[in-house]
Amino acid sequence: MKRLIRKQVLIPVLAVVVLVGASSFKSDFFEIAKQIEIFTTLFKELNMNYVDETNPAELMDSAIKNMLGELDPYTQFLNEQDVESFKINNAGEYSGIGALVRSYENKLLIVEPYQDYAADKAGLKAGDEIIKIGETLVADFDDNAGELLKGTNNSTVEVTFLRQGETKTTTITRGGVEVDAVPFYDMIDDKTGYIVLSRFNQKASKQTQSALQDLKGRGAERLILDLRGNPGGLLSEAINVTNLFVPKGELIVTTKSKVKKFNQEYRTRNQPEDEEIPLVVLVNGKSASASEIVSGGLQDLDRAVIIGARSFGKGLVQRPLKLTYGTQLKVTISRYYTPSGRCIQSLDYWNRDKQGNAVRNTKFNEFTTRNGRKVWDGGGVMPDITIESLKTNSLIDALESNNIVFDFATQYFYDHSFDSVDNFSFSDSDYSAFKAYASQQNFSYQTKTEKVLEETINGDDTLLGAEVQEKYKDLLLAVNRGKINALDTYKDEIQKNLEDEIITRYFYREGLYKYYLKHDDAILTATGLLADNNKYSSILK
């Protein structure tokens, strides 16, 4: 009954938003007008007659966000601050403290200070918990307190934070922050270049092109493009980056929508920078959206070998639509399809399970690349060569979402010292210390086996008696023992995440990428493949 009432309130709000920008719904005009009138009356009566004072703005904001939550996580209402953040993210420039910050209910956590920017110069470190900004306690601030850290160039802000149980204070002088799309590139050996493309903002294609030109000038005859962890960004920049390696006029993406004007074909418009250089693209489970357009397109056109782990699987396209009072609706308008015709969307948000969770696709359709190689839809971009240490699972996801790896890295940083990334090592005894630490933390995760057991035991089958209940408990104990042992089973995958987090604490992102050049499994595999022209060519053929 509660769910029904919620939808009666929220669906009219959807009608308000859709009416603003979608003429295709004219046939439903009467129903839309009816629902608007119902909601307007309800909202007015609620605010006038509710027993306590209400906050109309908060009620409406909550209604809109909960309503959009019924659709997909990418369809979002953007208030004025959100719109500004959206613009900054695409532009790659803003003024602030220069740090990646994560917001919690009563604190802000410094995840990563950017080298030589304001937060770094003020002495903030990853793991610091900001509890006060100026005179404002973070715990008492209703909105995202991270907004208080933003400000004009040369303005100052005093922050109070906790570090290893000790309260500290520092003053930060804000400054301009350049968010590079290509934070690092270098030569791996005398013939192999390496480019990290971390996001698809407005700088992506220009910076990738500049890096490629510089590397070729230094002798690069083959290239590794690293898209691991790249969450995506501008569709236009994904086309432009792909265009660096394929001819003008090549079809890269097709978008399909129920709104006719959003059905489009996107082709390359420029002459390529180099359509012959042997190319490997690295992806993992955090490579999404625009990253998948580039990797999927290059794979379909047999222009690159894809190495790593299955990508995230976001095959949806969003567009910001202007609303009133400076707000916007970022709405999913279409699905995109790679040159072979496949959509790599992995989660079905429109056919959910009993718990309301999006269902992951398990049935894949087969497509073929230009040379006739088999590829599949519905589950992200599958690599041509899989790197086991890049795979993820429910344990690894739980360690990350519960900050187990992050918090261990924080403690490790204050207990160890390294003067150079070349001297860094993470020993077996270090990993044993992590296992002991993880086993003491209060975190949990549910495996597929547990989900099946739970659904079975809680079903309507009345034949299940006390004996089955006891067997169920025994099975759960066995599963829990297996979960502890999984820290050993997935040591390589977990240790890579630990090393990434720890190295960044000492030597920032640049140090991590330099470490990758000599130690990363995917880069070593890619370098070896590119050095073997026959093997490289055989994969693409």
User: Which residue type occupies 168?
Assistant: K
Whether residue 115 lies inside any domain: the answer is: yes
In this structure, the answer to whether residues 298 and 252 fall within a common structural domain is yes
Whether residue 469 lies inside any domain: the answer is: yes
Closest CA to 343 of 300, 396, 406: 300
In this structure, the answer to whether residues 409 and 518 fall within a common structural domain is yes
Rounded to an integer, what distance in angstroms lies between the CA atom of residue 134 and that of residue 145? Answer: 11
Closest CA to 370 of 298, 454, 420, 273: 298
User: Which residue type occupies 53?
Assistant: E
Whether residue 531 lies inside any domain: the answer is: no
Statement: residue 469 has pLDDT above 80:
no
Q: Any residues with CB less than 8 A from the CB of 446 and at least 6 apart, and which?
A: 394, 454
CATH code at position 278 = 3.90.226.10
In this structure, the answer to whether residues 145 and 126 fall within a common structural domain is yes
Statement: residue 26 has pLDDT above 60:
no
User: Which residue type occupies 514?
Assistant: K
Rounded to an integer, what distance in angstroms lies between the CA atom of residue 297 and that of residue 369? Answer: 9
pLDDT in tens, 195-238: 999 999 999 999 999 999 999 999 999 999 999 999 999 999 99
Looking at 386, 409, 434, the residue that finishes a domain is: 386
In this structure, the answer to whether residues 303 and 427 fall within a common structural domain is no
In this structure, the answer to whether residues 323 and 366 fall within a common structural domain is yes
For the chain, what is the domain count? 4
> Which of the two residues, 233 and 352, has the higher pLDDT score?
233
Rounded to an integer, what distance in angstroms lies between the CA atom of residue 131 and that of residue 149? Answer: 12
Q: What is the pLDDT of residue 17?
A: 45
Whether residue 12 lies inside any domain: the answer is: no
Q: In what order do the strands lie in the sheet with 385-386?
A: 184-187, 192-196, 222-226, 279-283, 305-308, 385-386
Kind plus residue range of the DSSP H or E element containing 185: strand 184-187
Positive or negative, the Cα torsion across 262, 267, 270, 276?
positive
In this structure, the answer to whether residues 272 and 255 fall within a common structural domain is yes
In this structure, the answer to whether residues 289 and 374 fall within a common structural domain is yes
How sure is the predictor about 145, in pLDDT bands with cuts at 50, 70 and 90?
Answer: confident
How sure is the predictor about 455, in pLDDT bands with cuts at 50, 70 and 90?
Answer: low
pTM higher than the cut 0.85: yes
Statement: residue 1 has pLDDT above 60:
no
Structural contact between residues 93 and 177, judged by C-beta atoms closer than 8 angstroms: yes
pLDDT in tens, 400-418: 989 999 999 999 999 999 9
Name all contacts of 62-66 with Cβ < 8 Å and 24+ positions apart: 63/9, 63/10, 63/13, 64/13, 64/17, 66/6, 66/10
Whether residue 450 lies inside any domain: the answer is: yes
Rounded to an integer, what distance in angstroms lies between the CA atom of residue 289 and that of residue 268? Answer: 18
Looking at 336, 367, 386, the residue that finishes a domain is: 386
Residue 421 in 3-state DSSP? helix
Q: Any residues with CB less than 8 A from the CB of 220 and at least 6 apart, and which?
A: 187, 191, 192, 193, 212, 277
How sure is the predictor about 16, in pLDDT bands with cuts at 50, 70 and 90?
Answer: very low
Whether residue 145 lies inside any domain: the answer is: yes
Structural contact between residues 159 and 188, judged by C-beta atoms closer than 8 angstroms: no
Rounded to an integer, what distance in angstroms lies between the CA atom of residue 497 and that of residue 431? Answer: 12
Rounded to an integer, what distance in angstroms lies between the CA atom of residue 73 and that of residue 350? Answer: 12
Closest CA to 74 of 330, 311, 293: 330
Kind plus residue range of the DSSP H or E element containing 488: helix 466-489
Statement: residue 71 has pLDDT above 80:
yes
User: Which residue type occupies 6?
Assistant: R
In this structure, the answer to whether residues 328 and 247 fall within a common structural domain is yes
In this structure, the answer to whether residues 235 and 357 fall within a common structural domain is yes
Rounded to an integer, what distance in angstroms lies between the CA atom of residue 384 and that of residue 447? Answer: 28
Specify the pairing of strand 76-78 against strand 93-96: unpaired
CATH code at position 122 = 2.30.42.10
Q: What is the mean pLDDT of residues 107-118?
A: 94
Statement: residue 6 has pLDDT above 60:
no
Whether residue 143 lies inside any domain: the answer is: yes
φ/ψ region of 314 (left if φ > 0, alpha if ψ in -120 to 50, else beta) reads beta
> Which of the two residues, 287 and 3, has the higher pLDDT score?
287
Looking at 366, 386, 406, the residue that finishes a domain is: 386
- Mean pLDDT estimate for the chain: 89
In this structure, the answer to whether residues 425 and 474 fall within a common structural domain is yes
What is the number of alpha carbons within 13 Å of residue 417 lying toward its C-beta? 1
In this structure, the answer to whether residues 343 and 253 fall within a common structural domain is yes
How sure is the predictor about 463, in pLDDT bands with cuts at 50, 70 and 90?
Answer: low
Domain coverage including residue 251: 184-386
In this structure, the answer to whether residues 242 and 195 fall within a common structural domain is yes
Which residues are tagged catalytic? 289, 300, 314
Whether residue 273 lies inside any domain: the answer is: yes
Rounded to an integer, what distance in angstroms lies between the CA atom of residue 468 and that of residue 419? Answer: 58
